[in-house]
Structure 1
Amino acid sequence: MSTRVVTGKVRFSYFSALTARKNEMNGKEEFSTQVLVPKTDTETVNQLKAAAKAALTAKFGDKIPKTVRNPLRDGDTETKSDGSPLGPEYAGHYFFNTKSTAKPGAVDAHGHDIIGSQDIVSGDFGRVSLNAYAYDQAGNKGVSYGLNPAAESVDSDW
């Protein structure tokens, strides 16, 4: 079973996938975005879940821990750290964060390279290529989605 997923149409939030930002937790420069997946896109949701399960199996075999962090969060039930609701754009969506230390390539709907970070902004729609990976670090166990370095397709007019 593959850990690689190319999503259907998703929405980008906190988009910094073309300009690296310093991760305050590890000090590394990273490219990242938050991805909002419509709950109606069951194909993408099922692929994300299957990739996460495959990553867990690859890491832990048949001894998957009972409590692992799931990267796919529910926009209808999650709240901000202060307990207040998320914005209305999260309604009807699952969401997750993805990042990479390598700059991902980006193309528009016609296959032309997107060079400038101003060409894609938070709120734009597109597809993203990801790889699920499991981790066991400092007592934390779970799955995350890594942003693949050369397969992001976007179209802000979608």
Structure 2
Amino acid sequence: MAIDNTATKVITGKVRLSYTHIFEPQSIDGGEEKYSTAILIPKTDKETLRKIKAAVDAAVELGKSKWGGKVPPNLKKPLRDGDEERPDDEAYAGHFFLNATSKNKPGIAKPVGKGNDGKTKFQEITDTTEVYSGCYAKVSLNFYPFDARGNRGVAAGLNNVVKIQDGDFLGGRANVN
């Protein structure tokens, strides 16, 4: 079976954003500036988790050509268990998480009702305070293989963010209301 890039794309269900830098790119540890967010996926969202695992598997298959025709023994995968890796962080409890990045600014929008055709209409969000660490969104991602400086694995690319609900701020900031 041939794998193509459409098999590596996912639109999540309702997820929570954390460490959100989607309006301005940030440099991590002096590296290249990128737009990024951590995505917290409830462990109960079996459909989103199934889609992500299938997309990661497809990216692994695509990556074999970069990795000498086989899967490396210590392959890095993007989906991680919040209960295991962030046991002291209440926001990550009961969630899997991944970090998604992009060199290009993601599309950022919110639903504003339905059009005459019955499809959801969206409005671009330009207010940088409207999407923040702690709000809820649906996110479109693409998973891709990488081989950089001896590190091999699958990473998550950030495409679009659609805010669907406010939430408590993560990181100690309080809502004005």
Aligned ranges for residues 1-158 of structure 1 at < 5 Å? 1=3, 2-26=7-31, 28-60=32-64, 63-79=70-86, 85-110=87-112, 111-148=122-159, 151-157=160-166
Name structure 2 gaps, 5 residues minimum. Answer: 113-121, 168-177
**Hey, what's the Cα distance between the residues in 1 that align with 2:30 and 2:149?**
14
**Hey, what's the Cα distance between the residues in 2 that align with 1:139 and 1:86?**
31
The structure whose RCO (Cα within 8 Å, separation 6+) is larger is 1
**How large is the Cα RMSD of the aligned pairs?**
1.5
SS in 1 for 2:74: coil
SS in 2 for 1:109: strand
Name the structure 2 match of 1:82.
none
SS in 1 for 2:50: helix
Letter in 1 for 2:25: A
SS in 2 for 1:55: helix
Task: State the 1:67 CA deviation.
Answer: 1.8
**Hey, what's the Cα distance between the residues in 2 that align with 1:143 and 1:157?**
30
Task: State the 1:59 CA deviation.
Answer: 1.4
Task: State the 1:13 CA deviation.
Answer: 0.3
With 122-131 and 107-116 compared, the bigger mean Cα shift is at 107-116
**Hey, what's the Cα distance between the residues in 2 that align with 1:63 and 1:102?**
30
Identity, in percent, stands at 41
**Hey, what's the Cα distance between the residues in 1 that align with 2:35 and 2:166?**
23
Runs of 4 or more, structure 1, over 6 Å off, are none
Name structure 1 gaps, 5 residues minimum. Answer: 80-84
Task: State the 1:142 CA deviation.
Answer: 0.8
**Hey, what's the Cα distance between the residues in 2 that align with 1:147 and 1:130?**
5
Whether contact under 8 Å (2:134, 2:166) holds in the other structure is no
> Structure 1, residues 96-135: CA drift from partner, whole Å, max 9, x if none?
1111010011111321110121111100001101000111
Count of paired positions: 150
Go from structure 1 to structure 2 and tell me whether the alpha carbon gap of 1:133 and 1:86 turns closer, same or farther (over 3 Å shift): farther
